[in-house]
Amino acid sequence: MLSNPEITRIERQHAVAIHATVSADRVGETMGQLFGEVYGYLSTQPTRPGMPFSLYREPPGETITFDAGALVTAAVPETERIKSITLPGGRVVKAMHTGPYDTLAGSYGELQAWVTEAGEQLGEVAWEVYLTDPDAEPDPAKWQTEIFWTLAPAVEGE
């Protein structure tokens, strides 16, 4: 279920992530493995990791390409697989999805309709920040995921 959509301006956020392309039916499994790898690596670093996220730079199809990682407040050395990235800043639409991950697609549809109704156009990059740890909260109906989606510039050069 989607709630609290709003258009806002945010700052860029530093993160580390692993890039992956997988079939749509393997996203959840792969994402879990990648989060384990990223957080395992960050446990060896002096920085304290933030929330897990996934970043999508292109629309989903038969395969889904994404970056899975963690927000960080300080730079950490890259590895062969774990790279430093920056989540976009600027104008975004932001909303809360509550429920299982397999219902996120419905929330994205609702968010697209909300943005169109608001007279805006979506940009190309979307990401999810996972606020609920499924190991700590076993009821998927209570899981919360923050959705961010860049907006197309309203004015040339914005």
CATH no. for residue 80?
Answer: 3.20.80.10
Region 27-53 average pLDDT: 95
158: in domain: no
The whole domain housing 58 covers 2-151
**What local confidence, expressed as pLDDT, does residue 153 receive?**
85
The reply to whether 129 falls in a domain is: yes
Residue 98 lies in a domain: yes
Mean pLDDT (the chain) is 94
- In this structure, is residue 58 part of a structural domain? yes
Q: How confident is the model at residue 154 (pLDDT cuts 50, 70, 90)?
A: low
Residue 157 lies in a domain: no
Residue 85 in tokens: 């990235």
The token duo for 19 is 């890039």
Spell out a b/e string for 41-55, using b for 16 or more CB atoms within 10 Å of the CB, else e.
bbeeeeeebbebbbb
Distance CA 153, CA 158 (A): 6
Indicate the pTM of the whole model.
0.93
Let me know if residue 37 belongs to a domain. Answer: yes
Q: How confident is the model at residue 4 (pLDDT cuts 50, 70, 90)?
A: very high
Instruction: Decide if pLDDT at 63 tops 60.
Output: yes
Provide mean pLDDT across the span 153-157: 64
Q: How many domains are there within the chain?
A: 1
Task: Tell me whether residue 95 is in a domain.
Answer: yes
Is residue 76, in this structure, part of any structural domain at all?
Answer: yes
